[in-house]
Amino acid sequence: MALHVALFLVLCLVHCDTKTVLQDKLAGVRTVDVQAVEGMVAQFPCDLGTAANDKVYMVFWFRDDAGIPLYSFDVRGKHLSEARHWSAPEVFGPRAHFSTSPPPAALLVRDVKRRDEGVYRCRVDFRNTQTTSFRYNLTVVVPPEKPVVVDRWGKVINATTLGPHEEGEDVLLTCRVLGGRPEPSVQWLVNGVLVDEEYEHNTGDVIENRLLWPAIRRADYAAVFTCQAANSHLVPPKEVSLVLDMFLKPLTVEIKKPSEMGEGGVLTAERRYEVTCESAGSRPPAMITWHKGKRLLKRITEEHRNNLTVSVLSFVPTLDDDGKAITCRADNPNRTSLYLETSWTISVVYPPVVRLRLGSSLAAGDIKEGDDVYFECHVRANPPARKLSWLHDDRPLAHNATARVFHSNQSLVLQKVTRHSSGRYACSALNAEGETVSNELHFRVKYSPSCRSGGVSVVGAARGESVVIVCEVDADPPAAVFKWKFNNSGETIDVAADRYTSNGSASSLKYTPVADLDYGTLSCSASNEVGTQVTPCVFQMVAAGKPHPPRNCTLWNQTVDSAEVSCVAGFDGGLPQRFLLEVYSADGVKPRVNLSSEEPSWTVRGLEWDVRFRLVAVAVNAKGRSSPARLDDLLFSDPEKRTASEAPLGVGGMVGAAGAGAGAICALLAGACALSLRRRRRPPPHKPPAPAPAPPPPDLDDAEPDLIPNNYCEAASAPSLAVSSPGRTAPAPLSTPACNGPGASWTWSARSRDLSAPGGGALTEGAVGRAMGRSASATLRAAPDLNVDAIKEKLLDHRIPESCV
Ligand X SMILES: *[C@@H]1O[C@H](CO)[C@@H](O)[C@H](O)[C@H]1NC(C)=O
Identify the residue among 224, 470, 622, 670 touching ligand X (CB under 6 A).
Answer: 470
Closest approach of Cβ 58 to ligand X, in Å? 25
* 361 scored as a contact of ligand X (CB under 6 A): no
* 99 scored as a contact of ligand X (CB under 6 A): no
Tell me how far the alpha carbon of residue 108 is from its chain's centroid.
102
Decide whether 100 or 307 has the Cβ nearer to ligand X.
307
Closest approach of Cβ 440 to ligand X, in Å? 23
Closest approach of Cβ 770 to ligand X, in Å? 26
SS3 374: strand
- Nearest Cα residue to 146 out of 106, 184, 100, 94: 184
* 505 scored as a contact of ligand X (CB under 6 A): yes
* 487 scored as a contact of ligand X (CB under 6 A): yes
* 119 scored as a contact of ligand X (CB under 6 A): yes
Beta-bridged to residue 140, according to DSSP, are: 36
Sign of the four-CA dihedral 496, 501, 503, 508: negative
Under 8 Å between Cβ of 331 and 325: no
Judged by CB under 6 A, how many residues of this single chain contact ligand X? 42
Decide whether 309 or 724 has the Cβ nearer to ligand X.
724
Angle at 379 between CA 374 and CA 385, to 5 degrees: 115
Rounded-to-integer distance, Cα 384 and Cα 354, Å: 12
SS3 655: helix
Closest approach of Cβ 194 to ligand X, in Å? 26
Which letter, b or e, does each residue of 558-590 get, where b requires 16 or more Cβ atoms within 10 Å of its Cβ?
Answer: beeeebebbbbbbbbbbbbbbbbbbbbbeeeee
Rounded-to-integer distance, Cα 310 and Cα 249, Å: 16
Decide whether 684 or 727 has the Cβ nearer to ligand X.
727
* 251 scored as a contact of ligand X (CB under 6 A): yes
Q: Which residues contact 390 (CB under 8 A, 6 or more apart)?
A: 375, 377, 396, 397, 407, 412, 425, 426, 427, 428
Closest approach of Cβ 677 to ligand X, in Å? 25
Cβ-based neighbour number of residue 676 at 10 Å: 25
Decide whether 82 or 587 has the Cβ nearer to ligand X.
587
- Interface segment toward ligand X; rule CB under 6 A; list 428-436, 502-510, 604-612, 763-771: 502-510
SS3 141: strand
- Interface segment toward ligand X; rule CB under 6 A; list 198-206, 386-394, 442-450, 552-560: 552-560
Closest approach of Cβ 637 to ligand X, in Å? 18
Q: Which residues contact 243 (CB under 8 A, 6 or more apart)?
A: 160, 161, 162, 222, 223, 224, 225
Closest approach of Cβ 9 to ligand X, in Å? 27
* 45 scored as a contact of ligand X (CB under 6 A): no
* 489 scored as a contact of ligand X (CB under 6 A): yes
- Per-residue binding string, ligand X, 309-338, x by CB under 6 A, is ------------------------xx----
Closest approach of Cβ 328 to ligand X, in Å? 16
Identify the residue among 306, 360, 643, 645 touching ligand X (CB under 6 A).
Answer: 306
Tell me how far the alpha carbon of residue 590 is from its chain's centroid.
70
Under 8 Å between Cβ of 170 and 163: no
Decide whether 150 or 762 has the Cβ nearer to ligand X.
150
Identify the residue among 161, 191, 318, 492 touching ligand X (CB under 6 A).
Answer: 492
DSSP 341-361: EEEEE-EEEEEEEEEEEE-TT
Write out the binding residues for ligand X, residues 393-432 only, by CB under 6 A.
398, 400, 402-403, 408-409
* 704 scored as a contact of ligand X (CB under 6 A): yes
* 158 scored as a contact of ligand X (CB under 6 A): yes
- Interface segment toward ligand X; rule CB under 6 A; list 89-97, 276-284, 370-378, 419-427: 276-284
Local structure of residue 641 (DSSP, 8 states): T
Identify the residue among 23, 99, 439, 503 touching ligand X (CB under 6 A).
Answer: 503
Decide whether 267 or 649 has the Cβ nearer to ligand X.
649
Decide whether 166 or 208 has the Cβ nearer to ligand X.
166
Identify the residue among 169, 183, 371, 564 touching ligand X (CB under 6 A).
Answer: 564
Q: Is the peptide bond before 284 cis (omega within 30 degrees of 0)?
A: yes
Q: Which residues contact 4 (CB under 8 A, 6 or more apart)?
A: 69, 72, 86
Identify the residue among 164, 383, 477, 691 touching ligand X (CB under 6 A).
Answer: 164
Closest approach of Cβ 448 to ligand X, in Å? 18
Closest approach of Cβ 267 to ligand X, in Å? 26
Stretch (H or E) spanning 656: helix 654-657
Q: Which residues contact 181 (CB under 8 A, 6 or more apart)?
A: 114, 140, 141, 142, 231
Under 8 Å between Cβ of 110 and 92: no
- Nearest Cα residue to 665 out of 717, 719, 738: 719
* 359 scored as a contact of ligand X (CB under 6 A): no
Under 8 Å between Cβ of 509 and 500: yes
Identify the residue among 307, 342, 343, 453 touching ligand X (CB under 6 A).
Answer: 307
Decide whether 324 or 551 has the Cβ nearer to ligand X.
551
Write out the binding residues for ligand X, residues 763-792 only, by CB under 6 A.
none
Identify the residue among 289, 552, 558, 764 touching ligand X (CB under 6 A).
Answer: 552
Give the pairing type, strands 347-358 and 266-268.
Answer: parallel
- Nearest Cα residue to 719 out of 688, 760, 672, 686: 760
Secondary-structure percent of the chain, ordered helix, strand, coil, rounded to 5: 10, 40, 45
Under 8 Å between Cβ of 10 and 4: no
Decide whether 99 or 334 has the Cβ nearer to ligand X.
334
Decide whether 48 or 618 has the Cβ nearer to ligand X.
618
Decide whether 196 or 704 has the Cβ nearer to ligand X.
704
* 724 scored as a contact of ligand X (CB under 6 A): yes
Count the residues in the chain. 805
Decide whether 99 or 400 has the Cβ nearer to ligand X.
400
Identify the residue among 506, 674, 762, 783 touching ligand X (CB under 6 A).
Answer: 506
Stretch (H or E) spanning 9: helix 2-15
* 281 scored as a contact of ligand X (CB under 6 A): yes
Decide whether 266 or 780 has the Cβ nearer to ligand X.
780
Write out the binding residues for ligand X, residues 576-595 only, by CB under 6 A.
590-591, 593-594
Helices and strands, counts by H and E, the chain? 6, 56
Write out the binding residues for ligand X, residues 509-528 only, by CB under 6 A.
521
* 128 scored as a contact of ligand X (CB under 6 A): no
Decide whether 440 or 564 has the Cβ nearer to ligand X.
564
Q: Which residues contact 758 (CB under 8 A, 6 or more apart)?
A: 653, 655, 656, 657
Rounded-to-integer distance, Cα 599 and Cα 385, Å: 64
* 50 scored as a contact of ligand X (CB under 6 A): no
Closest approach of Cβ 632 to ligand X, in Å? 14
Stretch (H or E) spanning 492: strand 492-494
Identify the residue among 568, 670, 677, 716 touching ligand X (CB under 6 A).
Answer: 568
Closest approach of Cβ 262 to ligand X, in Å? 27
Contact residues: ligand X, CB under 6 A: 31, 119, 137, 139, 158, 164, 251, 280-281, 284, 306-307, 333-334, 398, 400, 402-403, 408-409, 470, 487, 489, 492, 503-506, 508, 521, 552, 554, 556-557, 564, 568, 590-591, 593-594, 704, 724
